Amino acid sequence: MNIKITGVGSYIPDTIEKNENFHNHEFLNTDGSSINAPNEVIVEKFKAITGIAERRYAKPHHDASDLGFFAAEKAIDDANIDPETIDYIIVAHNFGDVKHNTIQGDLLPSLASRIKHSLRIKNPKCVAYDILFGCPGWIEGVIQAKAFIKSGMAKRCLVIGTETLSRVVDKHDRDAMIFSDGAGATIIEATDDEGGILAHETASFTYDEAYYLYFGNSNNQELCRDTRYIKMDGRKIYEFALMNVPNAMKACLDNSGADIKDVKKIFIHQANEKMDEAILKRFYRLYRTDIPDNIMPMSIQTLGNSSVATVPTLFDLVKNNKMENHSLSKGDVVIFASVGAGMHINAIVYKY
């Protein structure tokens, strides 16, 4: 028995928010003081560091659970299965459903329950629950699905990553330009086909690192101090990722039995283009080998950072030949990897 991804789907919102749209924002330092640079320069420097030129925002009447439902429908259709045969629905997110122009996350009921309801699944033995694991949430959900299937507790799971980060950003913070909305979903099941999940690796660093991402006040000191927004220490996250993600990827690959030369694609969380490129360099440096061409597809330039949705969305785009110069063939070994709030890191080595 092998455990494979038999269906994949994603939902990329239609609304495009270009970098130019931030030229009229009032960006402030954390102490509320003005930044001594015009917005055009701020935005250009941001693009040079992150690679982001535009991102996607959900329509005002769509919440994270809606996006997850749309992606789930596509994954179910791709797998050609009856949704009543799903044993677990695992939904990764960070803030629940945050309705447009509100400041409160809604987690009652869970997003997994909402998505199961929208899918009109009647089977009460289809268990639906959420996980909060930062940006690595979808990968961790796949790892949990693997455990359920391997133990005999399930045969088929639906794992979803969905987020509307545009609704929890501080418009006075330059980091607001990083975040976006979207959803990705996969069907994970036991199969007699060759390949599947070969190994996984997960770690949580919380001793000093737990609050590198956190909920904090707006940079605008005049706004309500009881309202919180997503905040991060970008420099510390960058250094943390470069120190720990390549090592986790190597441990995972070494445990999989596959060789570094077997790896055809690396699907890494779309957090920051420069950071992802640096992680890739350090990873291959650990094996004292050159980086192959076209090994790491990137979507952050046009889709931004949609947290838990970035990796499954990227996988969906490549699987369905929607990214130029990137494709997958049966038997290809790929790596999924992520880092995020917590601080958590994880990786999966997978044979397509």
Evaluate the CA torsion angle 94, 98, 103, 105 in order and state its sign.
Answer: negative
Residues 166-171: what's their mean pLDDT?
94
Backbone angles phi, psi at 43, to 5 degrees: -70, -40
Check: CB of residue 275 under 8 Å from CB of residue 246. Answer: no
Residues 29-40: what's their mean pLDDT?
87
- Tell me what pLDDT residue 141 has: 98
Note down the domain range covering 35: 2-193
- Tell me what pLDDT residue 89 has: 98
Residues 312-326: what's their mean pLDDT?
95
Q: In what order do the strands lie in the sheet with 181-191?
A: 2-11, 181-191, 156-164, 88-93, 127-132
Check: CB of residue 215 under 8 Å from CB of residue 229. Answer: yes
Confidence of residue 311 (pLDDT cuts 50, 70, 90): very high
Is the confidence at residue 32, as pLDDT, over 90?
no
- The pTM for the full model equals 0.94
- Tell me what pLDDT residue 327 has: 93
Among the residue ranges 182-191, 219-228, 288-297, 311-320, the one predicted with the least confidence is 219-228
Is the confidence at residue 187, as pLDDT, over 90?
yes
Whether the link from the prior residue into 298 is cis, omega within 30° of 0, is no
Helix or strand run (H / E) with residue 126? none
Residues 15 and 129 in one domain: yes
- Tell me what pLDDT residue 1 has: 84
Residues 73 and 100 in one domain: yes
Last residue of a domain, one of 160, 193, 226: 193
Residues 18 and 31 in one domain: yes
Residues 176 and 236 in one domain: no
User: Residues, the chain, total?
Assistant: 352
Total domains in the chain come to 2
Q: How far apart are CA 41 and CA 288, in angstroms?
A: 38
Q: Which residues fall within 8 angstroms of residue 292, CB to CB, at 6 or more apart?
A: 263
Is the confidence at residue 222, as pLDDT, over 90?
no
Confidence of residue 38 (pLDDT cuts 50, 70, 90): confident
Residues 222-233: what's their mean pLDDT?
88
- Tell me what pLDDT residue 63 has: 97
- Tell me what pLDDT residue 260 has: 97
Residues 178-200: what's their mean pLDDT?
95
CATH number of the domain that residue 334 is part of: 3.40.47.10
- Tell me what pLDDT residue 36 has: 85
Confidence of residue 48 (pLDDT cuts 50, 70, 90): very high
Residues 189 and 202 in one domain: no
Instruction: Give percent of the chain with pLDDT exceeding 90.
Output: 86
Residues 18 and 157 in one domain: yes
Last residue of a domain, one of 173, 193, 213: 193
Residues 271-290: what's their mean pLDDT?
95
Is the confidence at residue 24, as pLDDT, over 90?
no
- Tell me what pLDDT residue 153 has: 92
**Residue type present at position 33:** S
Task: Check residue 33 and give left, alpha or beta (phi > 0: left; psi -120 to 50: alpha).
Answer: beta
From 298, 287, 241, select the one nearest 262 (Cα to Cα): 287
Residues 185 and 214 in one domain: no
Residues 163 and 214 in one domain: no
pLDDT in tens, 53-109: 999 999 999 999 999 999 999 999 999 999 999 999 999 999 999 999 887 888 999
Last residue of a domain, one of 172, 193, 214: 193
Helix (H, G, I), strand (E, B) or coil at 318: helix
Is the confidence at residue 226, as pLDDT, over 90?
no
Residues 255 and 132 in one domain: no
- Tell me what pLDDT residue 167 has: 95
Is the confidence at residue 193, as pLDDT, over 90?
no
- Residue ranges of E strands in the chain: 2-11, 15-18, 54-57, 88-93, 97-98, 105-106, 127-132, 156-164, 181-191, 196-204, 213-216, 229-232, 263-268, 333-340, 344-351
Instruction: Give percent of the chain with pLDDT exceeding 70.
Output: 100
- In the block, which residue shows the tokens 């440096």? 285
Backbone angles phi, psi at 77, to 5 degrees: -65, -40
Q: How far apart are CA 190 and CA 199, in angstroms?
A: 15
Residues 189 and 302 in one domain: no
Residues 140 and 56 in one domain: yes
Residues 129-150: what's their mean pLDDT?
97
Torsion of CA 42, 48, 50, 55, to 10 degrees: 70
Residues 167-181: what's their mean pLDDT?
94
Q: What is the average pLDDT value for the chain, to the nearest integer? A: 95
Confidence of residue 111 (pLDDT cuts 50, 70, 90): very high
- Tell me what pLDDT residue 225 has: 84
From 83, 77, 76, 269, select the one nearest 178 (Cα to Cα): 269
Residues 238 and 347 in one domain: yes
Is the confidence at residue 194, as pLDDT, over 90?
no
